[in-house]
Chain A
Amino acid sequence: MNKPKKTIEVKVERTIPAPVAEVFDGWLNPKIPGNPWNMADKLLLNPHVDGFFYWTVHGIPHYGRFTEVKRPARIRHTWMSPNTSGLESKVTVTFKKKGRDTRMTLVHSGLPDTDGGRSHAKGWNYFLDIFPGQFAAAPGRKK
């Protein structure tokens, strides 16, 4: 199997209006809307170090292994799905106190940097075809 050589990193941040521990627990609670487990059709979730998760949404499987569960500061786990093209990508979620709220940062790294994985937007491949060199030197991408 030919694996993509380049990977990409996605970083998303939000300020959640709740204390850190509550947000941390909410992220691991499948009943809370917004976390990835909440959208599952079928879910197996064992959020402990070396515990596994498996979930499907619209029949598409996602699975991984928890590598760090440090309440209430950080959660790390691997993430595999058809979109990771066989790569074991990594998700790190950190929770930091920000006044009365919580600053939440999610980094999803090791994602394949393929044309198909990069975008579904109509017409975008036009640019990817013309300017491949422009994207090659993107920061945060590992070679």
Chain B
Amino acid sequence: MDRLSDVLTAISHPTRRAIIGNLANGPARFLDVAKPFDTSLNAVTKHLKLLERAGLIARKKQGREVFISFRGEPLREAAVWMHEYERFWNDRLDRFERYFQDKKITTKQNRKKI
């Protein structure tokens, strides 16, 4: 999957959104991240892996402990993508490109007939 898809997947689950919300207040250790949730540590680990894959969190070792922190840049990228004019122009240019692709195919087919 591309990064945008990873981000959209990551933010699609309420637990992962809650994790991000908590980490936005500052870095935390794994057990502190898991504490508010009534779910297994294994499940939290899986959520964190998806967030990490999307680039939304980073792990940093400090002494013996590992701190997990929130990274906002991928969310900003997703927000920009979601801008209505981004979608508008992407849709327009997709159609424009398709017109010329179809035209090229039709021209080739007509040449073969001749």
Contacts and interface: CB of A to CB of B under 8 A. Distances in A.
Contacts of B84: 83, 117-120
Interface string A128-143: 1011011100100000
A131 B97 contact: no
Given A119-B83, A130-B24, A135-B76, A17 B89 contact: no
Interface residues of A, number: 39
A128 B72 CA distance: 11
B80 A16 contact: no
A18 interface: yes
Given A127-B75, A130-B24, A34 B89 contact: no
A35 interface: yes
Given A17-B101, A23-B100, A26-B96, A117 B83 contact: yes
Contacts, number: 99
A8 B96 contact: no
Contacts of A22: 100
B24 A131 contact: yes
A65 interface: no
Nearest to A34: B96
A111 interface: yes
A26 B90 CA distance: 17
Question: Quick one: which of A15, A16, A27 has the most chain B CB within 10 A?
Answer: A16
A104 interface: yes
Contacts of B86: 10, 12
A130 B80 CA distance: 16
Given A104-B93, A127-B75, A135-B76, A83 B85 contact: yes
A36 B79 contact: no
Contacts of A135: 72, 75-76, 79
Nearest to A108: B85
Interface in A24-71: 26-27, 32-36, 38-39
A1 interface: no
A124 B96 contact: no
A11 to B, nearest CB: 9
A14 B100 CA distance: 12
Interface of A: 8, 10, 12, 14-18, 22-23, 26-27, 32-36, 38-39, 83, 104, 106, 108, 111, 117-121, 124, 126-128, 130-131, 133-135, 138
